Structure 1
Amino acid sequence: MKTFNVPVIYRSPLISAIKNQRKQQDRMKKDFTPTELNFGPIRILLARHFGFCYGVENAIEIAFKTVDENPGKRIFLLSEMIHNPHVNSDLLDRGVQFIMDTAGKQLVPWESLQADDIVIIPAFGTTLETEKQLASLGIEPLKYNTTCPFVERVWNKAEQIGQKNYTVIVHGKPKHEETRATFSHSQAGTPTVVVKDIKEAALLAGFISGKRNPEEFYTLFEGQYSAGFDVTKDLQRVGVVNQTTMLATETQAIADHIKQVMISTFQLTDANVGERFADTRDTLCYATNDNQTAVTGMLQETADLAIVVGGYNSSNTSHLVELCEEKLPTYFISSPEHILSADAIQHWDFHHKQTIHSDQFLPKKDQVTILLTSGASCPDALVEGVIRRLLSFFQLEHKADELATASQS
């Protein structure tokens, strides 16, 4: 796989050594057991896969290269390039401006942009409407495009099944930048509706089966369906794609449920279900799959707690937190500094969108075992920082240097 020129501040000699060692031992990526880092009083089980993915490294390389090669020019990002506060802050410090926030609220008026300004498309992609807006200002919309190739793969799949007269069902968070972009691209070619979870998929299934009043659809799915959507006609043939960072098990459950409803409603069999239900297979990206599977493997081990590192508005990171929460006390932090001491930690409750202060998060015992992972937009340097922060409470920071040296040899 291609390697990228990512700023050294995001790299970690320790984590790189560990990852390279695991890669040598497991080139086919079949072993999802965690890496054990036993420091005596503290034992860390590091997920097999975590951190920057292909799409994120691609976006970072393009963005920083664009800044370096265009001194004196005004450079804008449509919105956060990725959902990591450290990377976005570094870009802001280098003079880049965000045109919109993550919810799509305008921060820089369109009319203030000039034809010679540089506008970078973030890794989530953007809508066709925004591309048109940029073009109308004389700005080539895709000249500085960091859209993840796996996001574009979803767009291509939606286009392919749309050309075969299937309606596209997008499993995603309706307000997320990626889902907004996927919805825009899909609806340009075929009727499209967004479902955010299995509950909404079950609601939609009621309209497919005819068990719900069609008029209810337009209220229940307000803002989540394409213009002119006809619930009585546009759910006869469907296919499911997704926001690439969603929980894999939920996407599969949604697709399976919709498929069974189609079979039951239209008296189909597994042999001819394709007449009504498109074979989209899984449209999650490889990194989302690997990171979630690695967490599942990690959770097979006995541990006291889990720490997940990443941006608080990161969809893929929040799903890793969800998986951990099913088994263990889980602390979602964006940087090592949120571990205040061996007794106190400030962490994010993404369910209620609030910061929580917890005391005595490290159990008082001879050896504490911690599961550790991070999201696909989180720099490895932050993960190393968490390890060093935890070791510092036991005066064992030097052990991280020893481990990095040993892993590189």
Structure 2
Amino acid sequence: MKTFNVPVIYRSPLISAIKQQRKQEDRMKKDFTPTALDFGPLKILLARHFGFCYGVENAIEIAFKTVDENPDKRIFLLSEMIHNPHVNNDLLDRGVRFIMDTAGNQLVPWEALVPDDIVIIPAFGTTIETENHLASLGIEPLKYNTTCPFVERVWNKAEQIGKKNYTVIVHGKPKHEETRATFSHSQSNTPTIVIKDIREAEQLAAFIKGEGDPETFYTLFKGQYSPGFNVATDLQRVGVVNQTTMLATETQAIADYIRQVMIATYDLTEETAGDRFADTRDTLCYATNDNQTAVTGMLQEAADLAIVVGGYNSSNTSHLVELCEEKLPTYFISAAEHMVSAHAINHWDFHHKKELHSAHFLPEKEQVTILLTSGASCPDALVEGVIRRLLSFYQLEHKADELVTI
């Protein structure tokens, strides 16, 4: 796989050494057990896969290269490039400005832009409407494009099945930048609807089966379907694609469920299911899948708590938190400094969008075991910082330096 020129401030000699050793031992990436770092009174079980994915490294390389090569130009990002505050703040410090926030609210008026300005499309991609608007301002919309190739693969799959007269069902968060972009690209080819979870899939199934009042559909899914969507005719042939950072298992469960609904509704067989349901399983992102599977493998081990590191508005990171929360006390932090001491931690409750303060998060016992992972937009340097911070609570920070030479 291609390697990228990512600023050294995001790299970690410690994490690089650990990842390199795991790669040598497991080149086919079939072993999802965690890496055990045993420091005596503290044991850290580090997920097999975590941190920057291909799409994030690609975006970072393009963005920082663009800044370096254009010192005399105004440079804008449509919105946050990735969902990590450290990376975004580094770009802001370099003079880059955001045109919109993550919800799509305007921060810089379109009329303030001129043809000589540089506009970078973030890793999530953008809508066709925004691309056209940039073009109308005399700005080449795709010249500085950091859209993740795996997001573009979803768009391509949606276009392929759309041209075969399938309606596209997008599993994603309706307000997320990536989902908005995927919805825009898909609806340009075929009727499209966004569903956020299995509950909405079940609600949609009632209309597929002809059991729901059509008017109820337009209320239930307001703002989530393409213009002109006809509930009576546009749910007869469907396919499911996803926002690449969703829980891969949930996307697959939704696809399997909708497939069975189509089979039952239209009296199909496993062999003829394709007449009504398009096979789209190859839109699942490898990094999302690997990171989530690594957490599942990590959770097979006995531990006292889990720590997940990443941006608080990061979808892929929040899903790792969800997985950990099912089994253990879990602390979602964006950096090491949120661990105030061995007795106090400030962490994010993404369910209610608020910061929590917990006391005595490290149990008092002979050996404390912690599961540790991070999101796909989180620099490895931040994970190393968390390890060093934890070690400092036991006066063992020097042990981190010894691991660099493994």
TM-score (norm: length of structure 2):
1.00
Aligned to 1:153: 153
Aligned to 1:55: 55
C-alpha distance in structure 1 between counterparts of 2:147 and 2:124, whole Å: 6
Confirm whether residue 223 of structure 1 aligns to residue 226 of structure 2: no
Contact 1:168 1:186 in 2 (8 A): yes
Runs of 4+ in 1 over 6 A off after TM superposition: none
Contact 1:246 1:284 in 2 (8 A): no
Where structure 1 has 5 or more consecutive residues not aligned to the other structure, the ranges are: none
Where structure 2 has 5 or more consecutive residues not aligned to the other structure, the ranges are: none
Task: Give 1:282 deviation, angstroms.
Answer: 3.7
Task: Give 1:182 deviation, angstroms.
Answer: 0.1
Confirm whether residue 101 of structure 1 aligns to residue 101 of structure 2: yes
Q: Deviation digits for residues 322-367 of structure 1, max 9, x if unmatched?
A: 0000000000000000000001000000000000000000000010
Q: Deviation digits for residues 310-329 of structure 1, max 9, x if unmatched?
A: 00000000000000000000
In the TM superposition, what are the counterparts of 1:295-310 in structure 2 within 5 Å? 295-310=295-310
Contact 2:10 2:380 in 1 (8 A): yes
In the TM superposition, what are the counterparts of 1:181-200 in structure 2 within 5 Å? 181-200=181-200
Aligned to 1:135: 135
Q: Deviation digits for residues 137-156 of structure 1, max 9, x if unmatched?
A: 00000000000000000000
Q: Which moved more, 1:264-273 or 1:121-130?
A: 264-273
Task: Give 1:281 deviation, angstroms.
Answer: 1.4
Secondary structure, in 3 states, of the residue corresponding to 1:340? Answer: strand
C-alpha distance in structure 2 between counterparts of 1:282 and 1:314, whole Å: 23
Contact 1:240 1:255 in 2 (8 A): yes
C-alpha distance in structure 2 between counterparts of 1:69 and 1:118, whole Å: 11
Aligned to 2:390: 390
The alignment yields a C-alpha RMSD, in angstroms, of: 0.5
Aligned to 1:92: 92
Paired letter, 1:3: T
C-alpha distance in structure 2 between counterparts of 1:155 and 1:280, whole Å: 11
Paired letter, 2:103: A
C-alpha distance in structure 2 between counterparts of 1:97 and 1:379, whole Å: 21
Secondary structure, in 3 states, of the residue corresponding to 1:244? Answer: coil
C-alpha distance in structure 2 between counterparts of 1:216 and 1:176, whole Å: 24
C-alpha distance in structure 2 between counterparts of 1:107 and 1:282, whole Å: 36
Aligned to 2:83: 83
Aligned to 2:74: 74
Task: Give 1:249 deviation, angstroms.
Answer: 1.1
C-alpha distance in structure 1 between counterparts of 2:118 and 2:284, whole Å: 30
Aligned to 1:166: 166
Paired letter, 1:307: I
Task: Give 1:284 deviation, angstroms.
Answer: 1.8
TM-score (norm: length of structure 1):
0.99
Contact 2:252 2:281 in 1 (8 A): no
Confirm whether residue 354 of structure 1 aligns to residue 380 of structure 2: no
In the TM superposition, what are the counterparts of 1:8-407 in structure 2 within 5 Å? 8-405=8-405, 407=406
C-alpha distance in structure 2 between counterparts of 1:196 and 1:282, whole Å: 19
Q: Deviation digits for residues 219-275 of structure 1, max 9, x if unmatched?
A: 000000000000000000000000001001110111111111111111111110100
